[in-house]
Amino acid sequence: MWIACPFPAWAKRPTRPNFRRPAGTSDREDGTKNRRRQNDRVLALLVSSTRPVNGPLSVHNTRSAFGRVSRYAHWVVGTLILALLPLGLFTWVLGPDHPEHGAFLAMHQTLGLTVLLLVVLRLLWLGQSPAQRQLALVTHRGLCALMLNFPVTGILLTAWRGDAMDIYGWSVAGFLTPDAHLGAAAGVVHNLVLAAMFYLALFAHLGAVTKHHFIDRRPQDIRRMLR
């Protein structure tokens, strides 16, 4: 037989949780609050990625981070290539008959030669660095090879067309025999193929960095190139 047992006077009767929305709120306000929380999380991740590390930054690379030389080379080469692509397109749009075509072409050639020298030095510096993860090493060398092919094909394109090469203010010509067919092929590779490959590699690189940082929650990866 069941016997009813009332709650004592000092105890409170349990109540069901109230899942109703507080008065005065709406779906739009709830969505705004959720977006603010997400923005706060993104801002916290960005701040954590740029948080200064303890101790001075080493010149040489380590197993966990790139040194000062590699970081400077990374950002300088990346900035130069991002400037060279629209500069080359602008020079092509001007056409050879434009009075300013020669000046812009000389600037494009000089910056391209600078990229060639910096990438070669960077590869030499990377060769004496500690071993990295295999995938990161292959990706790094692949990007460097792509950046090397840009100035090399540009030099071949200029030489096979019979034009002079501007090297830091000095005009150099005649180091290769002009060939219209080879010049046209080098032009296609330099202006179309490598440009498309570079943009694909750039978006893949940025996508991988974003995934590692925000989805995989690995802020140490982006810190390898930031202070």
159 exposure class (CB count in 10 Å sphere: 0-12, 13-18, 19+): buried
- Higher pLDDT among residues 218 and 210, named by residue: 210
Closest alpha carbon to 161 in 184, 192, 188, 144: 184
Closest alpha carbon to 57 in 77, 78, 72, 75: 72
Closest alpha carbon to 150 in 221, 95, 201: 201
| CA torsion through residues 16, 22, 26, 27, sign | negative
DSSP3 helix / strand / coil % (the chain, rounded to 5): 65, 5, 35
Compute how many other C-beta atoms are within 10 angstroms of the C-beta atom of residue 226.
15
Rounded alpha-carbon distances, angstroms, from residue 158 to 92, 118, 154: 13, 21, 6
- Residue 124 domain-assigned? yes
Instruction: Provide the domain limits for residue 98.
Output: 68-223
Residues 118-140: pLDDT tens digits?
Answer: 999 888 887 776 655 555 667 77
Look at residue 105 in the predicted model and tell me its pLDDT: 92
- Give the chain's domain count: 1
Q: Which of 49-58, 79-88, 135-144 has the lowest mean pLDDT?
A: 49-58
Element (H, E) at 63: none
- Residue 102 domain-assigned? yes
pTM here is: 0.66
- Residue 9 domain-assigned? no
- Residue 34 domain-assigned? no
% of the chain residues with pLDDT over 90: 30
For the chain, the average pLDDT equals: 78
- Residue 60 domain-assigned? no
Residues 171-217: pLDDT tens digits?
Answer: 888 888 999 999 999 999 999 999 899 888 888 888 887 887 788 77
Strand 170-172 relative to strand 165-167: parallel, antiparallel, unpaired? antiparallel
- Residue 29 domain-assigned? no
Look at residue 149 in the predicted model and tell me its pLDDT: 93
- Residue 19 domain-assigned? no
CA 220 to the chain's CA centroid: 16
